[in-house]
Amino acid sequence: MLTRLIAKLFVAALFGLVMSGSVFAHAGEHHSQNCFVDVGDTRLRLSGYQFQPGLENEHFCRVFPELGQIIIAVEPLEEGLENRQIALELLELSSWTDWLSNAEKAFAVIKQQPAKQFGAGLVSIQQTIGQRGVYALRVIMQDDAGHLRHQYFVFLVGVPVTKILAVLAGFLLLGLGFAWSRKIAAKGERAA
């Protein structure tokens, strides 16, 4: 099971490289997990939320650790975009093999948020996710010339990264302890 999970994480990382356009994700202000995506010439901030116990005040970006309800909010980083139309689509990876030929065909739409104006500056989409996997958010936005531009943002749901890292660290410590004890036993045999 762990091998499958590692393989999925690797493929998800490759998806991030293969998807069209440039996607930038990094720690935001105060090391929060806000992500940024460029749609045409406009930079947007994406913030993810989960409301399961213990996660109420956390922000997520590329990895949502639990299954259940997720909310992704999108907001512009510049003024004057209140009348700009934006639509959001939530997609689920449906084919692990299609990403080699056409990454866009690898995903199936599971929820569409109709186009609306930014207005107050925040547009969001929410969905209850019941299956671990690779998902994507497609952001479709009108540019200054009235053309529709889109960008994909790939993320994982149901991957408890901190728990996985803790287990891997435990295995590493056990391995080091085993190797150290064998080394001490070998020294004791040589001394005898």
Q: Could you tell me the fold of the domain covering 2-159?
A: Immunoglobulin-like (2.60.40)
Q: Provide the percentage of residues in the chain whose pLDDT is more than 70.
A: 77
For the chain, give every domain's residue range. Answer: 2-159, 161-192
Closest CA to 43 of 16, 77, 72: 77
Q: What pLDDT shows up at residue 173? A: 80
Q: What pLDDT shows up at residue 1? A: 55
Burial of 177 (0-12, 13-18, 19+ CB in 10 A): exposed
Tokens 């004890």 identify what position? 181
Q: What pLDDT shows up at residue 87? A: 93
Ordered mean pLDDT values, 10 residues apiece, the chain (192 residues): 49 41 37 74 88 75 84 87 88 79 81 85 88 92 85 86 73 79 74 64
Q: What pLDDT shows up at residue 28? A: 39
Q: What pLDDT shows up at residue 135? A: 92
Cβ of 99: how many Cβ atoms within 10 Å? Answer: 20
Pairing of strands 35-39, 68-76: unpaired
Full-prediction pTM beyond 0.85?
Answer: no
- The full DSSP string for 28-68 is -GGG---EEEEETTEEEEEEEEE-STT-TT--BSSEE-SSE
Q: Residue 50 is encoded by which pair of tokens? A: 């989960």
- CA-to-CA separations, 77 to 34, 35, 37, in angstroms, rounded: 12, 12, 10
Tokens 């036993």 identify what position? 185
Closest CA to 72 of 93, 55, 49: 49
